[in-house]
Amino acid sequence: MIIDARGLRKTYRPRGRRAAAPVEAVRGVDLQVAEGEIVGVLGPNGAGKTTTIRMLATLVAPTAGTATVAGHDLLTSPEQVRRRIGYVGQAGGVDENNTPRANLRLAARVNGLAAAEAAARTDEVLTAFDLAGLADRPARTLSGGQKRRVAIALGLVHRPPLLFLDEPTTGLDPQNRANLWEQIRTLRDGGTSVLLSTHYLDEADALCDRLVIVDHGLVVAAGTPAELKREIAGDVVSLRVSGTDEAAPVLDGLPYTREVRADGGLLRVYLDDGERALPHLLAALTGRGLALESVALDRATLDDVFLRRTGRSLRDAA
């Protein structure tokens, strides 16, 4: 494992306010990442994703717990960890008054590359991220997607085996997001391990080999996207019915229903074969004199996983 973290905790104690209670940002996270794997930390804003990544990247000291990162102990050898990782935060770290080429050469030199090697590696990374034509423009003149590619290149210019990405596609349009996904997959295919945080369901589903779902500083589920969705069911029928409280036990008692959950005024019915079961669901409601207002049949999603584990929708929580 390139990351093996056990029981990571982070408690912030407010300063200057005696009555203020400590804030438990991370409350005991176990997390493993294999070599050449993309692992996503999925959760709403404030769930503890960024704090977890910043602890593993040596930017924040854990209050408790242990971790080995890139072959070194996080607590006793943080300087050795730093030499073997790349980190791209939400702000990106790009000096907008400098060019991408100058940004990359500086990052390479800071990370120990000799001048000639830094120049060669800069050219290599500019080409890999389709930035060669923009290499000598001030970074402030680049688009958001171009700046984000420069930021990720900064995290990789010294060839780290492990890359941390905190919300890598926030603020990007769909085309730039898709292009960045391909860049991240290419890194994985080349042997780089990636740990990223996100609150985008489609990103987590499409990009990550495995997921850790975090809520209120705790891991509430872990596994591949397919495994997590299979735990719920194959299909989800969403119903709006007059008399939700009366309808829920009717549907929950049917033999092909795995689970029924209320989500506000919506009933979500989890089952394996939605197309075959749907007529029976509707017949059961009609038989009890319950009026149907709307119905939708969908495949189970990561949002359904989050709803089951936390009692709320990730889209609403984010």
Q: pLDDT, tens digit, for every residue of 182-235?
A: 888 998 999 999 999 988 888 899 999 999 999 899 999 999 998 998 887 778
Q: Can you tell me the distance from the alpha carbon of 135 to that of 141, in angstroms, rounded to the nearest whole number?
A: 11
Number of other CB atoms surrounding residue 79 within 10 Å = 8
- Of 11, 8, 48, the C-alpha closest to 32 is 8
Q: Which burial class, exposed, middle or buried, applies to 189 when counting CB atoms under 10 A from its CB (0-12, 13-18, 19+)?
A: exposed
Q: Can you tell me the distance from the alpha carbon of 148 to that of 131, in angstroms, rounded to the nearest whole number?
A: 11
Domain 3-224 class, CATH top level:
alpha beta
**Measured CA angle at 160 (ends 155, 162), to 5 deg:** 90
pLDDT at 315: 60
**Measured CA angle at 312 (ends 306, 222), to 5 deg:** 20
Per-residue pLDDT tens over the stretch 254-311: 888 888 888 777 888 988 888 888 999 999 998 989 888 999 998 888 888 888 777 7
Q: Where in the chain is the domain with CATH 3.40.50.300?
A: 3-224
Buried b or exposed e, range 216-227, using 16+ CB within 10 angstroms: ebbbbbbeebee
pTM recorded for the entire structure: 0.83
Q: Where in the chain is the domain with CATH 3.30.70.100?
A: 234-299
Per-residue pLDDT tens over the stretch 262-276: 877 788 898 888 888
Instruction: Say if CB 188 and CB 112 are below 8 A apart.
Output: no
CATH number of 234-299: 3.30.70.100
